[in-house]
Structure 1
Amino acid sequence: MLLALGMSVATSTVTLAAPLAYPATERTDVAEQQFGETIADPYRWLENDVRVDPRVRAWVTAQNEATNTYLDTLPGRAGIKARLSQLWNYERFGIPEKAGGNYFYTRNSGLQNQSVLFVRKGLDGTPRQLIDPNLWAKDGATALAEWVPAKDGKRLAYAVQDGGTDWRTIRILDVATGEPLPDEIKWAKFTAISWAHDGSGIFYSRFSEPRAGEVYQALNENQQVYFHRIGTPQSADRLVYATPDRPKLNHDATVSDDGGWLVIRSSEGTDERYELVLLDLRKPDAKPFVLVRGLDHNWVPVGSQGDRLTFITNKDAPLQKLVAFDMADPPKAAATMRDIVPQSTSMIDGATMVGDSILVAYLVDAKSEVRRFGLDGTARGKVPLPGIGTAQGFEGEAGDPETFFSFASFNLPNSIYRYDTDSGKVTPFALPKVAFDPGDYVVEQRFYASKDGTRVPMFVVHKKGLDHRGGAPTLLYAYGGFNLAQRPGFNPANLAWMEMGGVYALANIRGGSEYGEAWHDGGRLAAKQNVFDDFIAAGEYLIAQGITTSDKLAIQGRSNGGLLIGAVVNQRPDLFAAALPQVGVMDMLRFDRFTAGRYWVDDYGYPAKEADFRVLRAYSPYHNIDSGRRYPAILTTTADTDDRVVPGHSFKYVAALQAADIGDRPHLARIETRAGHGSGKPTDKLIEEYADMWAFAAKWTGLEMPSGR
């Protein structure tokens, strides 16, 4: 029961050592009774949309002014930004996609805010610019999101993302002329874009238009699949599939390789548990039918060959396997499922059909390994990779042996390679030239024991010859949720940290997919505390090994990882010198009330169910700030247009930090404008954000910063 909604006149101002002073934040007497416990929520008004509520807008302005005033006092901030600009300034390519003899790919010359889409006619053709999103907005915050060429390569569907929002506007481009067509599709979100094989139109998923003032906060329900015919208005789009009796279902739709089937996967949350619905596109009057009923298992389309449809699944295979259905007699197809590539000892991370092969990517202790199989599942060896790291891509189709992939590691930027399944040859397509020597860095993988004895992998990266006797300033990163594995990858910002003499560590804690279902299940719902224990144990291991000390250890996490940082700081504030929670889920009792939050119950549980409430209440960052203990320095980052994890999470958390008696170190908010959860963020905003975070963390870990301001 809601006890009070009115605003009180009480305010709190906490002043630290000059010149830093926190802005006053109004406290209210809002509280609710939940399962016999009174839950105070004094800063609920900060959940209001900053675009709509002038009080929230004024609070954001005041917080940014206080934060900037503090950051301006940090020596070396300008030097860090300058070096970040140098490290970011290298040519970057996306993985090419082939269609109708055309090769489509993105390229960034270095410091462009957004990558540009190019096309070549033939592999060795002259590159031609198709789309330059840098021309769309003065601040560079309007991005080219998803893009898909038609099978014949004559048209291209692309999505526009403005200011970091998850909403998409889909448009169509004539590849030959480079001119956009009049077609415009609005209110698409969490959608695949899939072309009909005759190029007549696209399948996509959308929600209804939100009510005014609720665009960035309303729950996302009743997603529907539509077909848009090129040259017609969106109002004429044909509804293909919807489940009004099950409004929580999401639907993504993709056309099979041969164009004969529309494969619709329906899910309710973030778990990879799908119902499979198929539509026979060869029959104009065909109706969708259920191939796999029930939200029990993962089903990822791999490819089609004649009447055979192949999928990745975890049905009876916690580490996943490949299976095939015979679609010759659709009503009986479900009973024809048979194994093609059985479960291995490592987690299957993806698979594609290319030429006469199936390429299957595995996670082996969080590192990539790609194995090749015949279409019948016969093993044909491994794809040679450039080293230990992360390989992604390998898109293609049966009958064409050509595919492309990217490869990266902590000291190796994304490089693009071409792979021929007939010859087995790997050749470079685009290798970046960078302003550092990758050989100057050491990449180690270590294993440590968590609180319950679980063996957890962790990557530790630093400059060769680093003397960390007495401990080196160290940045520890993790995520720990939603079945998302954390892989070796390149980030210029992390390299800048290591150049200054810091150590970078990535802990592959439970909650991800590194070791299949068991690893995910071991870090969610009632087992969520394992995630925090794994992370705390990683910090303790780094200290015990002499790599760092508690007064030189900074921690960082994004989104679910931001929740991680907030939780472990509350549980072990003594272990860390500085914390960088980014776009975090901080109120675990109300997360399911905004935008995509309702999906997260698969990992977090339901706040309205008592058993789940007890677990969530115990670690919710906003509700467990421990007054009377000395906290590390905290710089919380979020964005005003984040409609994935609404910024109210971070706003309320920061207000509570600033009102608590947790020591004299700074507890600040950095709130970006016209930026969202991270996708589509322009390069200049990324550089500025990392410069601020690294200067802040360096200050409190003793990392030596570049000279200059």
Structure 2
Amino acid sequence: MPLRHILLATAVAAVCLTSPAHAGDAALNYPKTERGPVAETFFGEKVADPYRWLEADVRVDPKVAAWVDEQSKFTDAYLKALPERAAFEQKLMKLFDFERYGLPVKAGKHVFFRHNSGLQNQSVLYVRNADGNGDSRGGRRVLIDPNGWAKDGATALDEWVPSHDGSKVAYSVQDGGTDWRSIKVIDVETGEVLSDTIEHVKFSRLAWAGNDGIIYSRFPEPKAGEAFQAVSSNQSVWYHKLGTAQSEDRQVHATPDNPRLYHSAEVTHDQRWLVVSTSTGSEKGNAVGVAAIGKGDWKVRPLITSLADEWTLVEGIGDRLWFMTSKDAPRKAVVMVDLSGAEPTFTPVVSEDEAVLDGARIVGDRLVLNYLRDVKAEMRLAGLDGQGVTKVALPGIGSIAGVVGEPGERQGYFAFSGFTQPATIYAFDATKPTSASVWEAPKLAFDPAQFETQQVFYPSKDGTKIPMFVVRRKDLKGPVPTILYGYGGFNVSILPGYSPARMAWLQTGGAYAVANLRGGGEYGEAWHLAGKGPTKQNVFDDFIAAGEWLKASGVTSKEGLAVEGGSNGGLLVGAVVNQRPDLFAAAHPAVGVMDMLRFDKFTAGREWVFDYGFPEKEADWRLLRSYSPYHNVKAGTPYPAVLVTTADTDDRVVPGHSFKYAAALQAAGLGPKPQLIRIETRAGHGSGKPISKLIEETADVYAFLAHWTGLKTTD
């Protein structure tokens, strides 16, 4: 599920749309890719898969490693020769170089927060005394600095959770972008990293049970050579007591009769209840089990048995648990569950609203409710019974990136950002909830007032109105080179947020558009259902209609439109480029799901069937076959310039998807524009990527898109 100056002359003459030309554009001599004989018959249709061999793990297969090396050298030479690249790299270095903070978390006598001075590859975890002067700088000291963990900066501090008394911090380490994590514990006073090490952890929360035990989720140890590709199965919840070996850990919850289920555990703030959520990983609903660990009872008993609805724990106080749920509320509501009796009782607290409830938390004795209204954030506070609702004033169009605070603590914090404003941290008093004050704000080398954000609602193919944000410099008139971004899947809402990469494009004179396609969660479950499974084509139609609107409205010109998207959004870009190659000048599909007939064969892909469909079912297979990017490249048709990006350690969407797709593009004779693949090393699906790699990759990608849309850079 996205990133974080030199001011250029604002003269419109600095930006123009032209027909780009490059010395090597006319006839690229791509590295040769062997075509294999693999073909299979599905439901009476024979389907060739000539690049099946590229699915093998690049870390263990020398033939794939050689192909990756040849493609990387070829692409690197092309990108480094682009005249636009140096200007983008310089601009990105300055745009990333600003001081930024994470949300502060109080535990015991300490406050913990992340901080990055600007160009540090990884943010540093700091600690200060809770009785300090109230800001982030008073008496702070470094607790965990991951920047010395690897020479290339690709080993990251992922999740971190302080114990309830603040004496220790449990944290997870991510190496080279993989989804796998190792859990460690550090003593806050001494800075000593304890001997405890927990392995085989993936898709896990961290929670403390008391101040000497950790709750986590893990998988069985993978077989040799299978860690980065094998289907993920048999996740379970475990308890680790500090000072003991992982082999002595206690299994708390598992479902051996259904190995495809995922389990995530939380502990209420008062340590009364362990709450375990069980799901398929991508289907919208989850079951819930609870254990009264405050009474020494570790037996997880079912509370919600159906997977039909979403139940997200907000918090627990005593024997009462608050949940955000989609049950009978497609746009979400809040329900309180009382566990004090022989049977649990369910009481509605916050009813479904016209806006979508996007998050909830308890701070002090108030519910903090985050809503989306037409993809723009709203914040409200209410009593624990849902009464006495008040609104918190927000600074404009943007999104709330997180809220922290605890029951019994009147002070809370949230992060707010917009397309042209990096995350600013606000403090609020739950007893005086109508406004919030700035706690930490980034100091910028540019003026956000020079840019404008417009939200439009354009008609899709079937007439449905789709929201889209368009961001650009205020001084630019007429069509400019434009990047269109989309995702459209898995109930994920794409919200306004700041990106130094996007700002580099905007400062240079381009426009950036974000379409909130069906399949996402921007308008609740109905919006999601309108773009999943049998309705997936709606997502592609929405994206194509966005491109048509941007041209018809004069935002961009015939040769000025590029598209980009990552993961499910990479699939989106691959599909629309096949369906409308004439519409786009350039395309950037990142870490995309490109083989829709085999996505379920690797790592977490098996669970995506709930959004895409089941390849073993004929009706689903035929739909998947109709838009699978790898299988629908139109040989001999002029295509836009395409830069595929992936990473060797992506074990979420394995790089074989992009390898096969790029090979198919290069073999298809798609005209004079280039079809390239950029393969990052020691990186994964996106999280944990060091700033240095982000700058290099973004400079490559945006130089490529600028070159093929005619965006001219100036010194």
Aligned to 1:370: 379
- Over residues 612-650 of structure 1, what are the superposed CA-to-partner deviations in whole Å (9 max), with x where a residue is unaligned? 101100000000001121100000000000000000000
Residue 542 of structure 1, CA deviation: 0.5
Cα separation, 1, equivalents of 2:281 and 2:97: 39
Aligned to 1:118: 126
Residue 380 of structure 1, CA deviation: 2.6
Determine helix, strand or coil for the equivalent of 2:256: coil
**Unpaired runs of at least 5, structure 1:** 1-14
Corresponding position: 1:246 with 2:276: no
Letter in 2 for 1:463: R
Letter in 2 for 1:95: L
- Over residues 588-610 of structure 1, what are the superposed CA-to-partner deviations in whole Å (9 max), with x where a residue is unaligned? 00001101101111110111111
Aligned to 2:177: 164
Describe how 1:263-302 pairs up with structure 2 within 5 A. 263-302=275-314
> Is the Cα contact below 8 Å between 2:427 and 2:439 reproduced in 1?
yes
Cα separation, 1, equivalents of 2:558 and 2:693: 30
> Is the Cα contact below 8 Å between 1:695 and 1:705 reproduced in 2?
no
Pick from 296, 304, 310 the counterpart of residue 322 of structure 2: 310
Determine helix, strand or coil for the equivalent of 2:491: coil
Letter in 2 for 1:452: D
Cα separation, 1, equivalents of 2:46 and 2:592: 24
Aligned to 2:117: 109
Corresponding position: 1:203 with 2:215: yes
Residue 418 of structure 1, CA deviation: 1.0
Pick from 154, 157, 160 the counterpart of residue 144 of structure 1: 157
Residue 307 of structure 1, CA deviation: 1.7
- Over residues 107-138 of structure 1, what are the superposed CA-to-partner deviations in whole Å (9 max), with x where a residue is unaligned? 00000000000011025241110011000000
Residue 102 of structure 1, CA deviation: 1.2
Cα separation, 2, equivalents of 1:91 and 1:338: 45
Letter in 2 for 1:218: A
Aligned to 1:385: 394
> Is the Cα contact below 8 Å between 1:643 and 1:677 reproduced in 2?
yes
Residue 257 of structure 1, CA deviation: 2.1
Residue 661 of structure 1, CA deviation: 2.1
Cα separation, 2, equivalents of 1:476 and 1:605: 26
- Over residues 45-93 of structure 1, what are the superposed CA-to-partner deviations in whole Å (9 max), with x where a residue is unaligned? 0000001001100101100111112112211211110111001100011
Cα separation, 2, equivalents of 1:389 and 1:246: 41
Pick from 463, 467, 471 the counterpart of residue 457 of structure 1: 467
Letter in 1 for 2:682: R
Residue 17 of structure 1, CA deviation: 5.3
Aligned length: 687
Aligned to 1:535: 543
Aligned to 1:11: none
Q: TM-score, normalised by structure 2?
A: 0.95
> Is the Cα contact below 8 Å between 1:353 and 1:397 reproduced in 2?
yes
Corresponding position: 1:615 with 2:623: yes
Aligned to 1:588: 596
> Is the Cα contact below 8 Å between 2:80 and 2:700 reproduced in 1?
no
Cα separation, 2, equivalents of 1:396 and 1:186: 30
Describe how 1:93-108 pairs up with structure 2 within 5 A. 93-108=101-116
- Over residues 461-493 of structure 1, what are the superposed CA-to-partner deviations in whole Å (9 max), with x where a residue is unaligned? 00011022xx21000001110110000000011
Q: TM-score, normalised by structure 1?
A: 0.96
Letter in 2 for 1:625: V
Cα separation, 1, equivalents of 2:41 and 2:152: 45
Cα separation, 2, equivalents of 1:244 and 1:706: 61
Aligned to 1:87: 95
**Unpaired runs of at least 5, structure 2:** 1-22
Corresponding position: 1:443 with 2:450: no
> Is the Cα contact below 8 Å between 1:20 and 1:66 reproduced in 2?
no
Aligned to 2:3: none
Aligned to 2:331: 319
Determine helix, strand or coil for the equivalent of 2:425: strand
> Is the Cα contact below 8 Å between 1:472 and 1:548 reproduced in 2?
yes
Label 1:72 to 1:594 Cα distance change in 2 as closer, same or farther (>3 A).
same
Aligned to 1:630: 638
Determine helix, strand or coil for the equivalent of 1:662: coil
Residue 706 of structure 1, CA deviation: 3.2
Pick from 476, 491, 506 the counterpart of residue 484 of structure 2: 476
Aligned to 2:476: 466
Cα separation, 1, equivalents of 2:257 and 2:295: 26
Determine helix, strand or coil for the equivalent of 1:575: coil
Aligned to 2:196: 183
Cα separation, 1, equivalents of 2:111 and 2:656: 43
The farther-off stretch of 380-389 and 432-441 is: 380-389
Letter in 2 for 1:397: E
Cα separation, 2, equivalents of 1:514 and 1:286: 38
> Is the Cα contact below 8 Å between 1:145 and 1:160 reproduced in 2?
yes
Determine helix, strand or coil for the equivalent of 1:434: coil
Letter in 1 for 2:477: D
Aligned to 1:575: 583
Determine helix, strand or coil for the equivalent of 2:197: strand
The farther-off stretch of 440-449 and 420-429 is: 420-429
Aligned to 1:689: 697
Residue 381 of structure 1, CA deviation: 1.0
> Is the Cα contact below 8 Å between 1:20 and 1:69 reproduced in 2?
no
Letter in 1 for 2:389: R
Structure 1 stretches of 4+ moved >3 Å: 15-20
Determine helix, strand or coil for the equivalent of 1:332: coil
Corresponding position: 1:431 with 2:444: no
Label 1:546 to 1:307 Cα distance change in 2 as closer, same or farther (>3 A).
same
Determine helix, strand or coil for the equivalent of 2:260: coil
Percent of aligned pairs sharing the same letter:
56
- Over residues 305-332 of structure 1, what are the superposed CA-to-partner deviations in whole Å (9 max), with x where a residue is unaligned? 2221110001111111000111002x51
> Is the Cα contact below 8 Å between 1:269 and 1:601 reproduced in 2?
no
Residue 676 of structure 1, CA deviation: 0.3
Describe how 1:509-528 pairs up with structure 2 within 5 A. 509-528=517-536
Aligned to 2:232: 220
Corresponding position: 1:651 with 2:656: no
The CA RMSD over aligned residues, in Å, is: 1.2
Cα separation, 1, equivalents of 2:127 and 2:298: 36
> Is the Cα contact below 8 Å between 1:227 and 1:238 reproduced in 2?
yes
> Is the Cα contact below 8 Å between 2:127 and 2:142 reproduced in 1?
yes
Determine helix, strand or coil for the equivalent of 1:379: coil
Determine helix, strand or coil for the equivalent of 2:542: helix
Aligned to 1:40: 48
> Is the Cα contact below 8 Å between 1:522 and 1:528 reproduced in 2?
yes
Corresponding position: 1:233 with 2:257: no
Residue 19 of structure 1, CA deviation: 7.1
Aligned to 1:4: none
